[in-house]
Amino acid sequence: MSQLFTPYQLGPLSLVNRIAIAPMCQYSAENGNATDWHMIHLGHLALSGAGVLMTEATAVSPEGRISAEDLGLWSSDNQQALAKVVRAIRQHSAMPLIVQLGHAGRKASSRAPWQGGSCVHLSDGGWQTVAPSPIAHAPGETVPIALDEAGLLQVKAAFVAAARRAHALGIDGIEVHGAHGYLLHQFLSPLANQRTDAYGGSLGNRMRFPLEVHEAVRAAVPASMAVGMRISATDWVEGGWEIEQSVQLAHELKRRGADFIHVSSGGVSPQQQIPLSPGYQVGFAERIKAETGMPTISVGLITEAQQAETIIASGQSDMVALARAMLFDPRWPWHAAAQLGAQVQAPPQYWRSQPRELKNLFG
178-190 pLDDT per residue, tens: 999 999 999 999 9
The average pLDDT across 77-104 equals 97
Query: Residues 228-237: what's their mean pLDDT?
Result: 98
Q: List residues bridging with 297 in a β-sheet.
A: 262, 319
Q: Tell me: pLDDT of 82 over 90.
A: yes
> Would you say residue 334 has pLDDT above 90?
yes
Measured between alpha carbons, how far is 182 from 192 in angstroms, rounded to an integer?
10
Percent of the chain having pLDDT more than 70? Answer: 100
Please check the confidence at residue 142 and state whether its pLDDT lies above 90.
yes
Confidence at residue 144, expressed as pLDDT on a 0 to 100 scale: 98
In the chain, where the domains are located: 8-358
Look at residue 240 in the predicted model and tell me its pLDDT.
Answer: 97
Of 218, 216, 250, residue with least CA distance to 231? 250
Question: Mean of the per-residue pLDDT values for the chain?
Answer: 97
State the pLDDT at residue 246. 98
**Model's pTM, two decimal places?**
0.96
Q: Where are the beta strands (DSSP E) in the chain?
A: 8-10, 13-15, 19-21, 52-59, 97-102, 130-131, 145-146, 173-178, 226-232, 260-264, 296-299, 319-322
Residue 221 amino acid letter: V
Q: pLDDT confidence of 360, banded at 50, 70, 90?
A: confident
Backbone φ, ψ for residue 67 (5° rounding) = -130, 170
Element housing 45 (H / E): helix 36-45
pLDDT band (50, 70, 90) for residue 320: very high
Burial environment of residue 303 by CB neighbours within 10 A (0 to 12, 13 to 18, 19 or more): middle
Residue 340: what pLDDT? Answer: 97
DSSP string spanning 56-82? Answer: EEEESSGGG-SBTT--B-SSHHHHHHH
SS3 321: strand
Q: Round to whole Å and give the CA distance between 353 and 61.
A: 43
What's the rounded mean pLDDT across residues 126-155? 97
pLDDT score at 9? 98
* Average pLDDT of span 260-271: 97
Check pLDDT > 90 for residue 255: yes
pLDDT for the residue numbered 313: 98
- Residue-wise pLDDT for 286-296, tens only, equals 999 999 999 99
Is the predicted pLDDT of residue 356 greater than 90, yes or no? no
Banded pLDDT at 326 (limits 50, 70, 90) = very high
Residue range 325-340: average pLDDT?
96
For Cα atoms 107, 112, 117, give the angle at the middle one, nearest 5 degrees: 55
Digit-coded pLDDT (tens) for 293-314: 999 999 999 999 999 999 999 9
Residue 173 in contact with residue 11, Cβ under 8 Å?
Answer: yes
Under the banding of pLDDT at 50, 70 and 90, the label for residue 123 is very high
Domain 8-358: CATH superfamily, name plus number? Aldolase class I (3.20.20.70)
Q: Are 204 and 175 in contact (CB under 8 A)?
A: no
At 358, the pLDDT band (50, 70, 90 cuts) reads: confident
Q: Active-site residues: which are they?
A: 182
- Reply yes or no on whether the pLDDT at 357 is more than 90: no
For residue 112, name the pLDDT band (cuts at 50, 70, 90). Answer: very high
- Taking the C-alpha atoms of residue 348 and residue 333, their distance in angstroms, rounded to an integer, is 16
- CA dist 213 and 268 (Å) reads 19
